[in-house]
Amino acid sequence: MTGQKQIYKCEICGNIIEVLHSGAGQLVCCGQPMKRQEEKTREEGLTEKHVPVIEKTDRGFKVKIGSAAHPMAEDHYIEWIELISDGGYCRKFLKPGDAPEAEFETKAEKAEARGYCNIHNLWKSE
- What homologous superfamily does CATH list for 47-124? SOR catalytic domain (2.60.40.730)
Separation of alpha carbons 89 and 106, rounded Å: 10
Architecture of the structural domain at 7-37: Single Sheet (2.20)
Q: Which of these, 15, 3, 1, 16, lies nearest to 122 by C-alpha position?
A: 16
The arithmetic mean of pLDDT across residues 32-54, rounded, is 90
Q: What percent of the chain has pLDDT over 70?
A: 100
- For the cut 80, the answer to whether the pLDDT of residue 44 exceeds it is no
Q: pTM for the full model?
A: 0.92
- What are the residue ranges spanned by the domains of the chain? 7-37, 47-124
| pLDDT for position 63 | 98
- For the cut 90, the answer to whether the pLDDT of residue 126 exceeds it is no
The arithmetic mean of pLDDT across residues 88-114, rounded, is 96
Separation of alpha carbons 38 and 12, rounded Å: 18
